[in-house]
Amino acid sequence: GAVVSQHPSRVICKSGTSVKIECRSLDFQATTMFWYRQFPKQSLMLMATSNEGSKATYEQGVEKDKFLINHASLTLSTLTVTSAHPEDSSFYICSARHKLRTLTDTQYFGPGTRLTVL
């Protein structure tokens, strides 16, 4: 149980276009989802925390207008990279926290989405 999926797994787009990445909790409800990005040989960096039904909380240095996050339901959060540029090319991973569990429980991670902007 506790599976998180991401779609697409890989996307290549032209500079200036927008890309939407979906994160779904398949068999549980997630009140909170986290979005991370990872540059090559770098650590995962938290971009934002997404709570169902409310606005996402962005980490310092992350542009809200560029990385639009929507957490419309307890099983789905989306990250839209608007007007993507080559420097946005990265590996994006989401994780979900189970609705019924406390902070002490594990996070469940999606498989990640590799975005390449040409």
Partner 1 sequence: KQEVTQIPAALSVPEGENLVLNCSFTDSAIYNLQWFRQDPGKGLTSLLLIQSSQREQTSGRLNASLDKSSGRSTLYIAASQPGDSATYLCAVRGDIPTFGRGTSLIVHP
Could you tell me which stretch among 19-27, 65-73, 80-88, 99-107 binds partner 1 (CB under 8 A)?
99-107
As beta bridge partners, residue 16 has: none
Pairing of strands 113-117, 10-13: parallel
- What are the distances in angstroms from CA 93 to CA 52, 100, 118? 18, 22, 20
Site pattern 55..94 for partner 1 (x: CB under 8 A): ------------------------------------x-x-
Question: What burial letters (b/e) apply to 104-115, b meaning 16+ CB within 10 Å?
Answer: eeebbbbebbeb
106 is a site residue for partner 1 (CB under 8 A): yes
- Report, in Å, the least distance between residue 66 CB and partner 1: 20
Give the range of 17-25, 40-48, 61-69, 77-85 binding partner 1 by CB under 8 A: 40-48
Give the span between the Cα atoms of 47 and 55, in whole angstroms: 14
Tell me how far, at minimum, the Cβ of 70 lies from partner 1, in Å: 20
Which residues form the interface with partner 1 (CB under 8 A)?
6, 34, 36, 42-46, 49, 91, 93, 95, 103-112, 114
